[in-house]
Structure 1
């Protein structure tokens, strides 16, 4: 990755549909605008879910390339990553061939990194083909079971580990995250960690990431509201709030 994420990555849209929030970016142009705002607010890397002409999530190279190229033009020098989520294609056998076509994208349109969930079939093969394409891998670890699975994959070699607490409550989020992080450490799984949550677990884990000195992420993929449940206008507002909370926890 061209630069490390020291504090925060912005996740611009995820699987959100436009009707869920007026600022959810779908088209390459909308992604570019939201990306520029998030970077101006302090984001050091960007994660996005490309869409096809209907607005549906896609892994197809042309759509991925168009989204990445637009964001890169608006945010030169900022690492740009995408998802490989199996739910998008729902095709275990076909997903590797689809993702492998990213290697043919011109450098300006090729992602810097991609997230691959440990709990999905085909993790090792997908990691290998992404590396061969010159794309770094972030391993999505959602549970202690995922952490143990990753520890047993001697050839997986992700470049970063995303500890993603996507289930649970605000009250259980920290304990769950610490259990996953402890398991990774006990098994000596290499690689920097990034800690984040979604919805109810989002804001408590931003504070906790700051306390532990770990990078985190924020954006309309993870939450549609601010730390007190208040409406937010866009990704930039979420980044500003998260940086304030992360810094307070870190200090």
Structure 2
């Protein structure tokens, strides 16, 4: 269970965007261990192939997950299933992720994020859960919340993307309100990307909801300066989250 914070180590970022972006399994393991030492309770990563491109292939997923798990034993390790990784090919994504079930236990992710608004969400979620992999349902809008009906998931990610800082809290509250209206229960995690990141770290603290941060979501600190790396972001986010929580 994530009580306060999950680290999102790399996403689709390149080292051209930030020199500390981890790409290889060894780099991901070091970054994860540093993030966990800084206070992260779980890690989310986007494994890469030999060319550095995001990959769902078990030959790339397995080594990355195993390396991270060895670097921070006992910490839940999760990955993305973003449809863009297979170029929008739903059938190829389904077939590739189905092969994760054959991975050794130390190579199999503990959880995977599945975007509710992407085609094949329900089928992919069922496949993951059958393989013993928890499903994080990425909800990007109030409309997405309605698509959760009848699909068992283990955690709902309220994800605010492409939203200015000034509108981030209102966008998050609209989704949270819709989830409540629909009676969607269970664990929730609230976060934003880019300009929405830091306002929602604070809002998550006020609400007592866990959040996430890392180079996937932002390259800057809460005061707008370049972040040193994932561990730096984790430490700063926990201070912001805790400060808001204490004000309640």
Report if TM-score (shorter chain) is over 0.5: yes
Residue of structure 1 aligned with 2:156, choices 161, 169, 176: 161
In the TM superposition, 1:24-173 aligns within 5 A as 24-90=21-87, 91-150=89-148, 153-154=149-150, 156-173=151-168
The residue that corresponds to 2:16 in the other structure is 19
Report the secondary structure of 1:138's partner residue.
strand
The residue that corresponds to 2:203 in the other structure is 208
Residue of structure 2 aligned with 1:185, choices 172, 180, 184: 180
Report the secondary structure of 2:204's partner residue.
helix
Deviation of 1:190 after TM superposition, in Å, equals 2.2
Report the secondary structure of 2:147's partner residue.
helix
The TM-score with structure 1 as length reference comes to 0.97
Runs in 1 of length 4+ with deviation above 3 angstroms? none
Between the aligned partners of 2:69 and 2:219, the Cα distance in structure 1 is 24
Deviation of 1:231 after TM superposition, in Å, equals 1.0
Deviation of 1:14 after TM superposition, in Å, equals 0.2
1:232 aligns with 2:206: no
- Gaps in structure 1 of 5+ consecutive residues: none
1:248 aligns with 2:243: yes
The TM-score with structure 2 as length reference comes to 0.98
Deviation of 1:236 after TM superposition, in Å, equals 0.2
Moved more, 18-27 or 141-150: 141-150
Question: RMSD between aligned alpha carbons?
Answer: 0.6
